[in-house]
């Protein structure tokens, strides 16, 4: 039997490796589509919306991931990801909406994904009627969606709004700042959503909010809000649940909010549903209620009507409150509230102000 010479053997091995690499590259390349292949041009200051929407439709029909290269691409209107994945190369892949009234990136359908890019408005208008068209990202009737590692740089209304029964979604590792309304807002019968690892600051309203209206029917439920850093000049609350069921608020850092750092409530003015079964654990709430004339404590449980019940606070650190550390009041019904292992320190007023509710307290420090 003839033996291959070493050089020939090495050549054959090298050729084989090259073929494998080329095949893998082609397979990977066929799974994605660049927006530039449809005519979008970076950094030319011209409108790219028609090219990008055409690419979205092509990606949807061929089940491809849509790639956004580095550079600035301009959008004169909204775009819609219907079950499509759009991915950039980091915060240097920038989508700029030039119409402050019509700039939302809309996500719908099953499996829509938006990741590793930046979306900003060139200019904004007043929040006004709060129209969703002015959001940065609007998730509607979506299932198994993902928003990850996106930088939202100002919007006329919300940063990310989730509504119309959207479920099984993840909102993770995003940076959201300078919005006209809430940073992240979950409403409209949405459920089974994780909000984790986000930085939300300088928002025009709440940083993160779960809100359920009676007119919508079923309350928002099964929401996990974990490991976020929020506040830093937000003009309302840090994390709010105003109508909702089975919500977990865990391991977040909330500071420098104009109103309560954590707000668990029902509100008559907005005809919200009851708030039932919220667990708040291992959070740090620092220096909330900074708005002049506000009486908000760092943590507020409030019911102006309806019912707030089965609320649990465990192992939270509440510090440097402008007013009280924890408060409970309102004209509505506040049921059982469980306080275990919480630490309150350095409140400008009293550590607690409990005017309503059946309080079950154990192993707390500072009150």
- CB of 117 closer than 8 Å to CB of 94: yes
As a whole number of angstroms, the distance between CA 244 and CA 128 comes to 25
Structure tokens at 36: 């530039």
> So what's the pLDDT on residue 354?
98
Residues 6+ apart with CB under 8 A from 147: 107, 113, 114, 115, 137, 139, 160, 169, 170, 171, 172, 174
262 beta partners: 239, 299
Q: Is residue 157 part of a domain?
A: no
Successive 10-residue mean pLDDT values, the chain, 367 residues: 50 52 44 98 99 98 98 99 99 98 98 99 93 98 99 97 99 98 99 99 98 98 99 98 99 98 99 99 98 95 99 99 98 99 98 98 98
> So what's the pLDDT on residue 128?
86
Q: Is residue 265 part of a domain?
A: yes
Residues 6+ apart with CB under 8 A from 61: none
Q: Is residue 54 part of a domain?
A: no
> So what's the pLDDT on residue 20?
47
**What does pTM read for this prediction?**
0.92
Structural domain count, the chain: 1
* CATH number assigned to the domain comprising residue 300: 2.160.20.10
| Domain region containing 250 | 182-362
Q: Is residue 165 part of a domain?
A: no
> So what's the pLDDT on residue 3?
47
Q: Is residue 194 part of a domain?
A: yes
Structure tokens at 197: 């690892």
């Amino acid at each position: 039997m003839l033996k291959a010479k070493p050089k020939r053997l090495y050549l054959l091995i090298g050729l084989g490796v090259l073929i494998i690499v080329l095949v893998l590259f082609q397979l990977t390349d066929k799974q994605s589509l660049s927006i530039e292949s449809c005519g979008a041009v970076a950094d030319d200051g011209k409108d790219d919306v028609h090219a990008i929407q055409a690419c979205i439709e092509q990606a949807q029909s061929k089940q491809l991931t849509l790639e956004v290269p580095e550079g600035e691409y301009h959008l004169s209107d909204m775009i819609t990801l219907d079950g499509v994945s759009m991915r950039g190369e980091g915060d240097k892949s920038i989508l700029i909406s030039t119409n402050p009234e019509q700039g939302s990136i809309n996500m719908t359908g099953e499996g829509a994904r938006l990741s590793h890019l930046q979306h900003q408005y060139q200019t904004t208008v007043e929040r006004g009627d709060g129209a969703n068209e002015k959001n940065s990202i609007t998730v509607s009737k979506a299932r198994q969606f993902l928003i990850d590692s996106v930088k939202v740089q100002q919007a006329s209304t919300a940063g990310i709004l989730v509504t119309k029964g959207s479920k099984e979604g993840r909102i993770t590792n995003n940076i959201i700042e300078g919005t006209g309304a809430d940073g992240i807002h979950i409403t409209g019968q949405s459920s089974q959503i994780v909000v984790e690892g986000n930085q939300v600051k300088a928002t025009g309203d709440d940083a993160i909010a779960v809100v359920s209206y009676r007119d919508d029917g079923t309350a928002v439920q099964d929401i996990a809000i974990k490991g976020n850093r929020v506040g830093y000049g937000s003009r309302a609350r840090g994390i709010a649940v105003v109508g909702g069921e089975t919500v977990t608020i865990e391991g977040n850092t909330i500071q420098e909010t104009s109103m309560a750092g954590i707000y668990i409530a029902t509100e008559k003015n907005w005809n919200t549903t009851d708030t039932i079964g919220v667990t708040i654990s291992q959070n740090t709430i620092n220096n909330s209620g900074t708005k002049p004339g506000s009486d908000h404590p760092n943590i507020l449980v409030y019911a102006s009507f309806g019912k707030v019940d089965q609320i649990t606070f465990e192992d939270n650190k509440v510090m440097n409150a402008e007013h009280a550390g924890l408060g409970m009041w309102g004209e509505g019904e506040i049921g059982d509230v469980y306080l275990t292992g919480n630490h309150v320190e350095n409140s400008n007023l009293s550590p607690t102000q409990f005017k309503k509710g059946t309080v079950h307290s154990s192993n707390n420090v500072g009150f």
